[in-house]
């Protein structure tokens, strides 16, 4: 199964070309003309690699990645940039690049570098299984099985369930979940957590027979 690649590039024609070539190779893609909605996409989707331009309309691309690295982002990043001086390339690596290609670039070389970065980063991830009752989370492949059945979750839902399992037996307040799952409590409200919990319940317990997640009124949520 091919990886999902998120592209941030202010040239719409280049995004279209990148998505066409990457999808032709079997990759899934998400394209953005600025960083405006990238944080939310990273919270809600499983992204294996980011292709990031540096000259963007809202924030310089390497500054955005440096900020996200400080918040815990570990997704590999390849910068695609016209900033090609020795200093600028070094700056890109210092701010969190796993690789750096200057524009214009050969698509064939980019595809090889994508394969190399994905291969290298996947090798560094060791299988890590987390279980709760009949639920099994594989943190390396980010898959979930309930019994023998694989369940499809978004990245946000997977992280939410992982957090609940990691703190099973404790009641987790909405503010705690906002901070540890969404990453920045001030940007969201408790209602956001309620909606996400309800979506998660529908996916892992559609017939409401197992009742994995218990709501503690006025406080938060716990597993029992």
The domain that contains 91 carries what CATH number? 3.40.50.2300
> 134 with 117, same domain?
no
113 and 155, same domain (yes or no): no
Q: Same domain for 73 and 170?
A: no
Mean pLDDT in residue range 190-207: 90
Q: How confident is the model at residue 108 (pLDDT cuts 50, 70, 90)?
A: very high
For 158-177, give the DSSP string: HHHHHHHHHTTTSPEEHHHH
Q: Which of 62, 48, 136, 132 is nearest to 95 (CA)?
A: 62
What are phi and psi for residue 16, nearest 5 degrees? -60, -45
- Give yes or no: residues 33 and 90 share one domain: yes
138 and 100 within one domain: no
Give the C-alpha distances (Å, rounded to integers) separating 1 from 25, 138, 141. Answer: 11, 16, 11
User: 107 with 142, same domain?
Assistant: no
Q: How confident is the model at residue 72 (pLDDT cuts 50, 70, 90)?
A: confident
Alpha carbon distance 211, 167 (integer Å): 17
Q: 119 with 19, same domain?
A: yes
Which of 89, 123, 157 terminates a domain? The answer is 123
Domain stop point among 87, 106, 123: 123
pLDDT at 180 > cutoff 60: yes
Q: What is the mean pLDDT of residues 123-142?
A: 75
Query: What gap in Å lies between CA 187 and CA 215, rounded to an integer?
Result: 23
Give the CATH number for residue 150: 1.10.10.10
**Is there a single domain that holds both residue 115 and residue 9?**
yes
Q: How do residues 14-58 score in pLDDT, each as one tens digit?
A: 999 999 999 999 999 999 999 999 988 888 888 899 999 999 988
Total tally of structural domains belonging to the chain: 2
Domain with 203, as residue range(s), is 129-223
* Mean residue pLDDT across the chain: 88
- Are 81 and 134 members of one domain? no
**Same-domain status, 204 and 107:** no
| Same domain, residue pair 84 and 138 | no
Domain boundary among 73, 93, 123: 123
Cα-only R_g, the chain:
19
Residues 110 and 133 reside in one and the same domain: no
Element (H, E) at 155: helix 155-166
Burial tier of 221 (Cβ tally within 10 Å: 0-12, 13-18, 19+): buried
């Amino acid at each position: 199964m091919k990886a999902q690649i998120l592209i941030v590039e202010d040239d719409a024609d280049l995004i279209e070309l990148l998505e066409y070539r990457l999808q032709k190779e079997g990759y899934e893609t998400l394209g953005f003309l600025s960083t405006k909605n990238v944080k939310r996409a990273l919270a809600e989707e499983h992204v294996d690699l980011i292709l990031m331009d540096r000259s963007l309309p809202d924030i310089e691309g390497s500054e955005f990645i440096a900020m996200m690295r400080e918040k815990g982002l570990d997704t590999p990043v390849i910068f695609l940039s016209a900033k090609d001086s020795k200093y600028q390339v070094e700056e890109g690596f210092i701010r969190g690049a796993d690789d750096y290609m200057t524009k214009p670039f050969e698509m064939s070389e980019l595809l090889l570098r994508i394969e190399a970065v994905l291969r290298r980063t996947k090798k560094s991830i060791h299988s890590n299984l987390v279980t709760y009752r009949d639920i099994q989370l594989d943190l390396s492949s980010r898959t979930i099985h309930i019994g023998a059945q694989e369940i499809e979750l978004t990245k946000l839902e997977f992280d939410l369930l992982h957090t609940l399992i990691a703190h099973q037996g404790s009641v987790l307040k909405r503010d705690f979940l906002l901070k540890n799952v969404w990453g920045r409590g001030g940007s969201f409200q408790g209602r956001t957590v309620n909606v996400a919990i309800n979506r998660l319940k529908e996916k892992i317990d559609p017939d409401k027979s197992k009742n994995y997640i218990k709501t503690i009124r006025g406080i938060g949520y716990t597993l029992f």
